[in-house]
Amino acid sequence: MSPDVRTIRFGQRAMFEMEAQWRIDGVERALEHLDAFLPHAKDQAFLRKSQELTSAKEQFDREAIEAEIEMMELEWLGRFPANFYGSLVVLLWAETEKIIERFAAEVKAAKQIGLAFADTNGSSAYSRLRKYVEAVLGTLLPENSAIEDLEFLRNLYAHHGGDVTGQSEGRMKRVKAILRTRAGVTQFDEFVIADSTYILSAIHATYGLIKALRAAHPSTEPDVIELQT
């Protein structure tokens, strides 16, 4: 090997941060593409529907055509944005959960203990993380309603498609609180819509979580280590 070429490796905590950054950056890029794509998709959907109705105008009277267009307009105000943006909420939570699990596994290995994150009970993943970090590291992470709300919305989209019909009284109370306090979260008919404003704020909250985890378990080695060759 040439003497002017260095061989390096990244420290464990640096690798954690790089992986976490890579995961969340991917969600942010997907959001940028969705914001650019959705208006075009809407225009194309209405154009195709108009062409379809025009070619079959003998089969539809004026009222039927207007009803079809009105139905599409309602879907693009409620169901479709809930589904499109909701899929990114699900993705963001999946990546956030991976970061939490990766951190917990790292702490378990560093402390050489038998207690695993999966063994910790709690009403949410973040409440379980707080208990785990306190038990293993002796550090109490701050409460984080933004991460808790992200997990709640993820469940609403993953299990109900953003539709609040039939939700329990307790869950509806939580939905109303999120609608009041989270910018970018609105409701149209039965659908909760978390738009790009909300998703960007949730991404910011996840970056904050990464920093809090790093502070709770600081590195004992340099971020970049030069190896002897």
Residue 76: the pLDDT is 86
Give the structural domain span for 72: 11-227
User: Which structure tokens are listed for 225?
Assistant: 């280590």
Nearest one of 34, 38, 112 to 75, comparing CA atoms: 38
Residue 15 lies in a domain: yes
Strands 7-10 and 191-194: unpaired
Residue 5 lies in a domain: no
Residue 6 lies in a domain: no
φ, ψ of residue 61 in degrees (nearest 5): -90, 175
- How far apart, in whole angstroms, are the C-alpha atoms of residue 148 and residue 140? 16
Residue 13: the pLDDT is 65
Number of structural domains found in the chain: 1
Residue 221: the pLDDT is 60
User: Which structure tokens are listed for 122?
Assistant: 């709690």
φ, ψ of residue 188 in degrees (nearest 5): -125, 120
Q: Do 147 and 208 touch, CB atoms closer than 8 A?
A: no
Nearest one of 206, 24, 15 to 102, comparing CA atoms: 15
Residue 1 lies in a domain: no
Report the chain's C-alpha Rg in angstroms: 23
Residue 9: the pLDDT is 47
Q: Is 138 left (phi over 0), alpha (psi -120 to 50) or beta?
A: left
- How far apart, in whole angstroms, are the C-alpha atoms of residue 152 and residue 150? 5
Low-confidence ranges of the chain (pLDDT < 50): 1-3, 5, 8-10, 224-229
Residue 75: the pLDDT is 86
Residue 67: the pLDDT is 80
Residue 73 lies in a domain: yes
Residue type (1 letter), 72: M
Q: What separation, in Å, do the N-terminal and C-terminal C-alpha atoms of the chain show? A: 8
Residue 30 lies in a domain: yes
Residue 153: the pLDDT is 97
Residue 85 lies in a domain: yes
